Amino acid sequence: MFDHLSFGVSSLERSLAFYDAVLAPLGIKRLFSLTDIAGYGTDSFPRFWLVSRQKFTHEVSRGFHLAFIANNRNAVDAFYEQAIAFGAKDDGKPGLRPHYHPHYYAAFVIDPDGYRIEAVCHEPA
């Protein structure tokens, strides 16, 4: 549905270290990088962008949430472990969320800039 998404970060260097680590278990890597912007993806087209917040004047949007696809439950677990190791705050440990659907396995964290991010697998164990 979406072509790409970007959001501002207070420290691009810190965010690059964080997202390089937490997205790797999901098969997502940094594909593009300049001094104030970087893009991530799974193929040759970046779909998730980080931009230095210095380019913007507005604050982080409340209610923002981004879910990354995980191919399996182990990838969700690894995403969560990496995120916590890189300073994220827990917002929902890895596990089933059957109130969404029977196979919804996800983990939620708050990144260093306060964004709520998730890794989710919709496949059965």
pTM for the full model?
0.85
| Collapsed DSSP state (helix, strand, coil) of residue 4 | coil
In order of 5, 44, 85, 125, the CA distances from 105 in angstroms are 23, 28, 20, 9
Expressed as residue numbers, the domain containing 78 is 5-54+62-121
Amino acid, res. 56: F
CATH number of the domain where residue 36 is located: 3.10.180.10
Cβ atoms of 103 and 122 within 8 Å: the answer is: yes
Number of domains in the chain: 1
**pLDDT values of the chain reduced to their tens digit, one per residue, 125 residues:** 577 898 888 899 999 999 999 999 999 999 999 888 999 999 988 999 998 877 655 565 566 789 999 999 999 999 999 999 999 999 999 999 999 999 999 999 999 988 889 999 999 99
Cβ atoms of 8 and 52 within 8 Å: the answer is: yes
